[in-house]
Chain A
Amino acid sequence: MSKKNKSTFGKFMSSFGNMFKRLFVKDKVEKDLLAEEAIMTPAKVILKNLVSNKLAVIGFIGFVAIFCFSFIGSQIKPLSLNYTELTNANLRPGRNYLKYPKELDSKDVKEIVSGISFSAAITEDGKFYIWGTESNRELENVSTKIFNVPAEVYENKIVDIVAGGTHILAIDENDNVYGWGYYGNNQTIVPDNVKKVFEDPNVSIKKVLAATQWTAILGTNGELYIWGSSQAQMNFLISSKTQGRIVDVVAGDNNMALLLDDGTMTMIGDRGTEFYLNIPENVKNGEVKIKQMAATNRNVLLLTEEGDLILWGSAENQLNVMPEYEGDIVAIASGYKNFLALQDNGEVVVWGSTELGQNVLPEDADDLTEIYGGYFQFYGEDSEGVLHAWGNKGYFFGSDHFGRDIYTRIIHGGRISLTVGAIAMVISTIIAIIVGLTAGYFGGWVDQALMRLADVFSAIPFFPIAVTLSFIMGNKVSQSNRLFIIMIILGVLGWMGLARLIRAQLLLEREKDFVLAARALGVKQRNIMSKHILPNVFNMVLVNITLGYASSLLTEAGLSFLGFGVSEPTPSWGNMLNAAEQATVIEFYWWRWVIPAVFVIAAALCINLIGDALRDAMDPKANER
Chain B
Amino acid sequence: MGKYLVKRIIILIPVIICISIILFGISKAMPGDPVRAMLPTTLKEEQYQAAYDAMYERLGLDKSLPEQYVRWIGNLFLGEFGYSTMYNRPVKDAVAEPLKNTIILNVFVNIFYLIIAIPLGIKCATKRGGFFDNFWSVFSLVTYSLPSFFLALSLIYIFGIKLGWLPMGGMPNTSILAGTDLYLSWLKHLALPVITLTIISIAGAIRYVKNAMIDALSQDYIRTARSKGLNTKVVVYSHAFRNALIPVSTIIVGTLFSLFSGSAITETVFTYNGIGKLMVAAVNQRDTQMIITMNLFFSIVSVASVLVSDIIYGLVDPRVKLS
Contact = CB atoms under 8 A, between A and B. Distances in A.
Contact of B150 (A475, A601, A608, A612): A601
B14 A452 contact: yes
B302 A554 contact: no
Contacts of B258: 461
A561 B265 contact: yes
A279 to B, nearest CB: 48
Contacts of A607: 145
A601 B146 contact: yes
A459 interface: yes
A468 B280 CA distance: 9
A485 to B, nearest CB: 13
A463 B265 CA distance: 9
B26 A587 contact: no
A587 B157 contact: yes
A90 B302 CA distance: 43
A463 B261 contact: yes
Contacts of B150: 577, 593, 597, 600-601
B209 interface: no
Interface stretch (A265-273, A324-332, A578-586): A578-586
Contacts of A583: 161, 168
Interface string A455-473: 1101111111101110110
A465 to B, nearest CB: 6
A580 B280 CA distance: 16
B284 interface: yes
Contacts of B168: 583
A585 to B, nearest CB: 9
Interface string B154-183: 001100010000001000000000000000
Interface residues of A, number: 44
Which secondary structure characterizes the binding site on chain A? Answer: helix
B26 A467 contact: no
Contacts of B268: 562, 581
Interface residues of B, number: 45
A586 B153 CA distance: 7
B100 to A, nearest CB: 19
A609 B31 contact: no
A550 interface: yes
B295 interface: yes
Contacts, number: 121
Contacts of A586: 153, 156-157, 161
B223 to A, nearest CB: 16
A17 B251 CA distance: 39
Given A456-B18, A471-B283, A609 B264 contact: no
Interface string B262-305: 10110011000000000110011010000100110011011100
Interface string B219-250: 00000000000000000000000000000000
Contact of A580 (B22, B145, B149, B302): B149
Contact of B283 (A456, A460, A468, A550): A468
B190 interface: no
A593 B152 CA distance: 12
Nearest to A600: B147
A465 B295 contact: yes
A464 B264 contact: yes
A102 to B, nearest CB: 38
A57 interface: no
A607 B256 CA distance: 27
Nearest to A583: B168
A605 B141 contact: yes
A607 B144 CA distance: 11
A459 B144 contact: no
Contact of B279 (A467, A587, A612): A467
A564 interface: yes
A47 B174 CA distance: 60
30 contacts: A452-B15, A452-B18, A453-B18, A459-B19, A460-B22, A460-B295, A460-B302, A461-B295, A461-B301, A461-B302, A463-B261, A463-B265, A464-B261, A464-B264, A464-B298, A472-B30, A475-B31, A558-B149, A562-B264, A580-B149, A581-B268, A581-B269, A597-B153, A600-B150, A601-B145, A601-B146, A604-B144, A604-B145, A605-B142, A609-B141
Given A558-B147, A577-B149, 8 more contacts: A452-B14, A465-B26, A465-B295, A467-B283, A601-B145, A604-B144, A608-B144, A612-B141
* Chain A to chain B: the 9 pairs with minimum beta-carbon distance, closest first: A604-B145, A461-B261, A461-B298, A605-B145, A597-B150, A456-B18, A475-B31, A471-B283, A455-B15
